[in-house]
Chain A
Amino acid sequence: MTSKPKRSNLLELKLKVINIGIDTFSEALKEQGVDVIHVDWIPPAGGDEKMLELLDRLSK
């Protein structure tokens, strides 16, 4: 059995956040003085789910 990777515990770290989706959540984080980058998300492949599946398979 492989052991779990040793990773810093989020509860002990200063948060550095990437927000994908509703930008109100980015604004709320900024208001709290948190480092945040907002991603202007749009549905990939124009929201075409079959195309998305294909793209995901190709990228693996």
Chain B
Amino acid sequence: MVVRVIIKKDTFRDSITLMKISNQVSGIKGVSNAGVVMATPLNKKLLKDVGFSEKEIEKTDQNDLVVAIEADDQSTLDKAVKEAEELLSSKESSEKTRSNPRTLDSALEQMKDANLVTISVPGRFAKREAMKALEKGLNVFLFSSNVSLDDELELKRMAMDKNLLMMGPDCGTAIINGVVLGFGNKVRQGYVGLVSASGTGLQEVSTLLNAEGLGVSQAIGTGGNDLSEKVGGMMMIEGIRRLEQDKKTRVIIIISKPPNPKTTQRVLEMATQCKKPVIVNFLGERVDLKKAPNCTSATTLEEAVRIASKLIGKKSATPIAAPNEEEMLQTARSESERFSSIQKYVRGLFSGGTLCYESQYILKPLVGEVYSNAPVNQKYKIQGDGPSKEHTCIDMGSSEFVEGRLHPIIDFTLRKRRIIEEAKNPQTAVILLDVVLGYAAHPNPAGELVPLIIQAKNSAVEAGRFLSLVASVVGTDKDPQDLQKQLVELRKAGVVIMPSNAQAAKVAALIALRGSTRRV
């Protein structure tokens, strides 16, 4: 085995470009390991984890680019290094000839009537870019995470002063006037307006609305920390206000993890005074709204959609299949038939933070406490990159996994690695997954997952076990990936597919309980 590490000081390439180059070099026959990455602490750790422990990597900082390749022999290594160098420089030259602007100012010269800036630069530069946009009177959609709460507060205060929308930081998706920003799904336009602190929560609700035959008027993302005590739900309150005025919106759904009491009170004050019906979906929490006739509480994303459907009065031709306890139990019995005596744990690996959170809430009353890097109860917190413990749900899109890397909705590398790890564990009974389709997402998630799932299932059988996989797919038939094709391929690989994340989590629990509703 031969290894080469090349450091390119003060060289930047965006994470999509680097992922493509890494994948291309890794695919060369005889290359056993390859990483072309920015030298962030996370990427350096990941390189070390896969065996690149060269000292020069340790000396780099996050402005440097690392090319690390391991191959079977010298000639393959030379070929792989040459390929990586060529890909890096071809991207560089193509950027120079494309004549795209390099700054917001020069972009504005080309588009004087721009009204929105979408930003996805590394977190430490994000506030600077967002501030420049707000100063120029432009609305902002800020995808970047790792921005401090103080900076978020400053950005949102400025936006409010200027009467602008500041969606984010850490805003995964929004749908404005039918246009999907960031990650998001092609859903029909309609009468339900959403304000969401959760990107995948928004995606789950908008796609389930679509499945119900309903549509979305506007979906405003606030960013994951908007309802923190410090920021106080500033953009969620502004979002409700804007949807109240929006002529197309008839019903409003607000989505968040349960906020702190102070922020809850501020947001509910706005919701209860709203002239339109508001469905309050603070995940897992039944909010007391008896004194507010216009408000209804929903504890799951799916329940929020059902209430909206009732309020709009639309009878869908293809409603989301209602949870059928008996069918679920039957699935659970047949999936668990070939379990070994020690298989008992659910291991959830999510690209969506809210889907991870919702699953914990569904699993707990059935299987008991659930450990997580983003736990419902802090007592059960574990490190995301550490081993699982009993029942575990990992949010693979949390900031610890995406520093200098792409989100797991696009880049399956780390989730695939974790699936293999969980599948090898003899106590794992069920692996629970979310598969998120839509714009900017991976072009073929089933293509990434299916070979791995087949391999994992076969290895389990060889070891005298049966590995159960359960998933829900967040998507629509109009999405670029083709929902039906994804479903067919996953089912063919033996994955139990459920119509919503909540139902997938419930079935996973029932399988771990071997088709009983009581703990074994």
Binding site for B on A (CB under 8 A): 4-11, 13-25, 27-29, 31-32, 34-35, 37-44, 46-49, 52, 56
**Alpha-carbon gap, A14 to B116, bound state (A):** 10
Do B122 and A43 touch (CB < 8 A)?
A: yes
Asked whether B116 lies within 8 Å of A16 as measured between CB atoms, the reply is yes
Contact with A along B1-31 (1 / 0, CB 8 A): 0000000001010111000000000000000
9 contacts between A and B (CB under 8 A): A9-B245, A11-B177, A20-B120, A22-B440, A37-B101, A37-B111, A41-B121, A47-B63, A52-B128
User: Which partner residue on chain B sits nearest A29 by CB separation?
Assistant: B179
- When C-beta atoms are compared, the residue in chain B nearest to A34 turns out to be B179
Set of chain B residues within 8 Å of A11, measured between Cβ atoms: 176-177, 218, 242, 246
Asked if A15 contacts B100 (CB within 8 A), the reply is no
The complex places the Cα of A55 from the Cα of B450 at a distance, in Å, of 50
- Closest chain B residue, CB of each to CB of A10: B139
Structural contact, B63 and A32, CB atoms closer than 8 A:
no
Counting chain B CB atoms within 10 Å of each CB, which of A11, A16, A28 scores highest?
A11
B144 within 8 Å of A (CB atoms): yes
A28–B443 Cα gap in the complex (Å)? 12
B107 interfacial contact with A, CB 8 Å: yes
Tell me which of B115, B124, B137, B480 has the highest count of chain A C-beta atoms within 10 A of its own C-beta.
Answer: B115
A interface footprint on B107-125 (CB within 8 Å = 1, 0 otherwise): 1101101111111111011
Segment of B159-167, B252-260, B295-303, B379-387 engaged in the interface with chain A: B159-167
Interface residues of B in 91-135 (CB under 8 A from A): 95, 98, 100-104, 106-108, 110-111, 113-122, 124-125, 128-129, 133
* A residues less than 8 Å from B182 (CB atoms): 25
Are the CB atoms of B116 and A10 closer together than 8 Å? yes
Interface assignment of B452: CB less than 8 Å from any CB of chain A: no
Q: Which residues of A contact B124 (CB under 8 A)?
A: 49
Chain B residues positioned under 8 Å from A41 (CB to CB)? 14, 102, 121, 129
Check A7/B16 contact, CB under 8 A, given A21-B143, A37-B110, A41-B121: no
B163 touches A7 (CB 8 A): yes
Q: Do the beta carbons of B104 and A18 come within 8 Å of each other? A: yes
A16 and B111 form a contact (CB under 8 A): yes
State the CA gap A17–B139 with chains docked (Å).
Answer: 10
Q: Assess the B107–A35 pair: CB atoms within 8 A.
A: no
Pick from B122, B144, B177, B246: contact of A14, CB under 8 Å: B177
